[in-house]
């Protein structure tokens, strides 16, 4: 093992911290003590070992070793593609959408983006990035609307991945909860540790145990972005009914589409990424008529998520893309669904 490998190995063991920096560079009191007692070197002798720019190599290696690796064909991989799309949209349509978190996080993740980068300027990839951005903007708009009348509400991101919408909507008084599978939350804790009035909760959304973790005394607004396509219809129904019981007066907003669109999702980016064991089951065309019968307490409404909240007349959006947006909203029934939970009966 050469010295670069040794440094990288040590960083994986220690997690990369100021003590190790001070030790390897002999620049802190504790670091100087270790250099003298363990290696019998003073600072000048230590510095000579890094002559010729090796400090740059050291810190470059440190940065590489601290990146979080995402393996292919894992659930965590499903976080990376929408994250990349949000970054791409921030570059292509900065007047419509800007996700600084996505731009920053891409540089902290060890993942082969070559395929995504190769296709990033293709027609459908650019339109797909616009879809992702509009969905995030729409959901954020609904969250802010709820907070206007419930400023101390719980803002709950269901299937959060590496999405930062909760913080984007933070009014300084609400409580933010980010929910996802344990391995996803483990990654989020590394890259997006919880801030003030925020909690990252590892859970299975289909297990109602997480209900007890949400402080909804000031109200609750739940949102799910690109999540329910991977749920069976029965699972979505059970979740909605359970939330209606637990959070009367709360609101759930999420994106949905008809069966044709969901089949296209399964055949395009999921298959392109070679992601296995992810099924797209839940699909709707008319949210109000299809979901209202689930429970008499549900007040259901919906809007097209491409043009229902924004006319997309920004110069960065071509006329052809506006045409595709109409096809998406009207033909594929791409929509933002809002369910308001009525009082207990």
**Percentage of the chain modeled with pLDDT above 90:** 48
Name the band, by pLDDT with cuts 50, 70 and 90, for residue 89: confident
Which domains does the chain possess?
3-66 (no CATH), 131-341 (3.40.50.150)
Name the band, by pLDDT with cuts 50, 70 and 90, for residue 107: confident
Both structure tokens of 152: 């101390």
Name the band, by pLDDT with cuts 50, 70 and 90, for residue 123: confident
pTM comes to 0.76
The predicted-structure confidence for 170-180, as pLDDT tens digits, reads as follows 999 999 999 99
The predicted-structure confidence for 296-336, as pLDDT tens digits, reads as follows 999 999 999 999 999 999 999 999 999 999 999 999 999 99
The predicted-structure confidence for 192-213, as pLDDT tens digits, reads as follows 999 999 999 999 999 999 999 9
Exposed / middle / buried, residue 334 (Cβ in 10 Å: 0-12, 13-18, 19+): buried
Asked whether 225 and 159 are in contact (CB, 8 A), the reply is: yes
């Amino acid at each position: 093992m050469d010295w670069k490998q040794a440094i990288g190995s040590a960083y994986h063991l220690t997690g990369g911290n100021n003590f190790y920096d001070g030790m390897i560079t002999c620049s802190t009191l504790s670091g100087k003590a270790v250099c003298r007692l363990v290696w019998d070197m003073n600072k000048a002798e230590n510095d000579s070992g890094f002559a010729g720019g090796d400090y740059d190599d050291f810190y470059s290696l440190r940065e590489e070793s601290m990146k979080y690796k995402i393996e292919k064909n894992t659930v965590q991989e499903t976080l990376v593609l929408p994250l990349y799309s949000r970054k791409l949209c921030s570059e292509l349509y900065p007047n419509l959408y800007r996700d600084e978190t996505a731009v920053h996080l891409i540089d902290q993740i060890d993942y082969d983006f070559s395929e995504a980068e190769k296709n990033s300027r293709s027609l459908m990839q650019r339109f797909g990035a616009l879809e992702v951005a509009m969905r995030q903007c729409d959901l954020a708009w609904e969250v802010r609307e709820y907070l206007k009348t419930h400023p101390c509400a719980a803002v709950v991101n269901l299937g959060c991945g590496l999405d930062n919408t909760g913080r984007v909507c933070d009014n300084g008084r609400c409580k933010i909860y980010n929910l996802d599978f344990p391995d996803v939350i483990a990654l989020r804790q590394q890259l997006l540790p919880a801030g003030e009035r925020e909690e990252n909760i590892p859970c299975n959304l289909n297990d109602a145990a997480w209900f007890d973790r949400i402080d909804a005394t000031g109200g609750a607004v739940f949102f799910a972005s690109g999540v329910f396509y991977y749920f069976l219809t029965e699972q979505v129904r059970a979740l909605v009914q359970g939330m209606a019981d637990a959070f009367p007066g709360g609101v759930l907003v999420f994106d949905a589409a008809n069966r044709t669109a969901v089949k296209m999702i399964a055949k395009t980016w999921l298959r392109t990424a070679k992601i296995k064991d992810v099924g797209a089951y839940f699909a709707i065309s008319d949210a109000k008529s299809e979901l209202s019968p689930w429970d008499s307490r549900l007040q259901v409404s919906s809007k097209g998520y491409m043009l229902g909240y924004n006319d997309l007349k920004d110069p960065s959006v071509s006329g052809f893309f506006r045409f595709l947006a109409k096809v998406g909203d009207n033909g594929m029934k791409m929509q933002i669904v809002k369910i308001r939970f009525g009082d207990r009966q």
